[in-house]
Amino acid sequence: MNALRNSAILNRKFLVFAVAAALLVALAWYVDSNVTLDSMVEQENQLRSHIGLNPWRAFLVGFGVYLALSLVPGTGGKAIVSGWLFGFWQAVIIVSVGLTIAAMLIFYLARYLLRDIIERRYGSFVSVMNRHIEKEGAFYLLFLRMAHAPYSIVNPVSGASRVAAKTFLWTTAFGLMPANIIWIYVGINLPSLRELAAIGPNAFLSAPLLAALIGCGALPLLVRWLIGHFSAGIDAGEFNHISGSDSTS
């Protein structure tokens, strides 16, 4: 029975992989045949012109799209795109508020509808969360957020744990802010397509952009270092086990 189940799972995974590969090949063929850099530059100009002429509508649409994507696991890079399109302050609002609302929705869904399922799937993580919330309070969740631990684990596990909703809210809002700002700063320093067409790959060689990229990699390492040196009550191995996968910004 187990062999048949495993075979069925492998067949489904192979089918999904084959369909995804076929779609990627078709997309690559279409882009190679029909999309030119000049046409992409023109579309970018039209998009930026539309944002400039309709700032409130563009902001609301951008916020809605960001919020929707934040509910989908694995959709990283959104903060960079937001900074690239909307500039620093608008992107900070879109990203910070959007991520916090999405996190709260998943938190409440996990707490009131899916608790049993999450406890079965992430029982060890729920136990770790409860233990550290009792010992360190909100600081453990705040450290997880500062390290941009994966939404796909932290949000549902927090909902299934004994974390208070208001604690989850403020640690999410403030803990995600440093990384959000760095990713947005990357976005506002990325070259436009017009600049890329005019200058080429050298358009990426700017000191602010390189500094922001270094900051993206350094921030999680800094948080882990702080955990190891100043928070003796938190086990670094358990922390890294939860926080060591991709973020969703």
| pLDDT single digits (tens) 122-144 | 888 888 888 888 888 888 888 88
25 and 116: one domain? Answer: no
109 and 212: one domain? Answer: yes
Residue 183 lies in a domain: yes
Quote the tokens at residue 165.
């909703």
Pick 86 or 229 by higher pLDDT: 86
User: How many angstroms separate the most distant Cα atoms in the chain?
Assistant: 62
Q: How many domains does the chain have?
A: 2
Other beta carbons less than 10 A from residue 59's beta carbon: 15
Pick 37 or 174 by higher pLDDT: 174
Residue 136 lies in a domain: yes
9 and 51: one domain? Answer: no
Q: What is the pLDDT of residues 25-34, one digit of tens each?
A: 554 454 455 5
Residue 77 lies in a domain: yes
Residue 121 lies in a domain: yes
50 and 125: one domain? Answer: yes
Residue 40 lies in a domain: no
6 and 126: one domain? Answer: no
11 and 106: one domain? Answer: no
What pLDDT sits at residue 18? Answer: 57
81 and 144: one domain? Answer: yes
171 and 190: one domain? Answer: yes
230 and 207: one domain? Answer: yes
The parent domain of residue 26 ranges over 1-35
106 and 163: one domain? Answer: yes
* pTM for this predicted structure: 0.74
Quote the tokens at residue 154.
């932290």
108 and 133: one domain? Answer: yes
Residue 41 lies in a domain: no
Q: Give the C-alpha separation, 249 to 181, whole Å.
A: 10
Residue 9 lies in a domain: yes
Question: How far from the centroid of its chain's Cα atoms is residue 22's Cα?
Answer: 27
Q: What is the gyration radius of the CA atoms in the chain, in angstroms?
A: 21
148 and 31: one domain? Answer: no
Residue 248 lies in a domain: no
pLDDT of 233 > 60? The answer is no
Q: What is the pLDDT of residues 90-122, one digit of tens each?
A: 999 999 999 999 999 999 999 999 888 888 888
